[in-house]
Amino acid sequence: MRGKVILIIFIIILVNLSFFCAEEEINNFQKGNFYYEQDNFDKAIEEYNSIINKGLGSGNLYYNLGNCYFKKGDLGRAILNYEKAYRLIPWDKDLKSNYDYAYSLVKGNIYYKNNFIYRIFDKFTIDGLTILLTGFYIFSLIIILIGIILKSAKKICFTFIGFLLIFFILGFVSLFNKINNLHKEGIILAKETEVKFEPKESSTTYFTLYEGAKVKIIYFQNGWVKIKRGDNKIGWVKRSHLEVI
């Protein structure tokens, strides 16, 4: 009996703590919004980051952070946070509009061209695409079962299964690409950075990247990052000049 009482008390404490933490994060978010409306972007960023530092990042939070940095004239961090937001709320029209405008301001920008397969499912998050593929799989099993039970509908069912299979494969490839790109893309935060042929200061400059440019990350080495630009040119930049998305 005593053990049950202790367990109940423990559960009540946990529930109260969770409500307290949730209320605290809501207060931080509201404070951030208030400071943003007052054009006090540094304080707004401080409030938003206090939530993110607790591992509670969200699409709207990163979107608000991006807006703060954009208002401050920090194009690199604005695009960085818009990118993080886009991975969580890709359907948000305001985010898309702000992101496209900010990205258009990047000097000498070279856009990445996503392949056809990736574009089909671009508006899905990793979780959303996983749920969609699971739905495809379950629906396919149902159609197969109907085809087995109803002999007259067998041909139609298996034709339909063929189309579902094509979409399932395309979706799986897109999901694989999204997972594979996690932590393998970065944004240049430095106003201007020279991309070298080799990972050392004395190496010849291959090309120049500017604040807000998006790059593919190949690997890290001794304070340098091997990156690939949108036109597939590869070089090395200082690690301090880039932030992983």
Tens digit of each residue's pLDDT (9 = 90 or more) over 71-111: 999 999 999 999 999 999 999 999 999 999 999 999 987 77
Q: Are 18 and 26 in contact (CB under 8 A)?
A: no
More confident residue, 6 or 56: 56
Task: Report the distance separating Cα 128 and Cα 114, nearest Å.
Answer: 19
Residue 81 token pair: 């946070």
Model pLDDT for residues 127-157, shown as the tens digit of each residue = 888 999 998 888 888 888 888 888 777 788 8
Task: Report the distance separating Cα 194 and Cα 197, nearest Å.
Answer: 10
CB atoms within 10 A of CB 12: 10
Q: Which residues pair with 188 in a beta bridge?
A: 242
- Global confidence as pTM: 0.78
Residue 218 has pLDDT above 80, yes or no: yes
Q: Which range among 6-15, 28-37, 98-107, 115-124 shows the weakest confidence by mean pLDDT?
A: 6-15
DSSP per-residue string spanning 24-89: HHHHHHHHHHHHHHTT-HHHHHHHHHHHHTTT---HHHHHHHHHHHHHHT-HHHHHHHHHHHHTT-
Task: Give the residue among 185, 86, 66, 81 at the shortest CA–CA distance from 126.
Answer: 86
pLDDT the model gives residue 25? 64
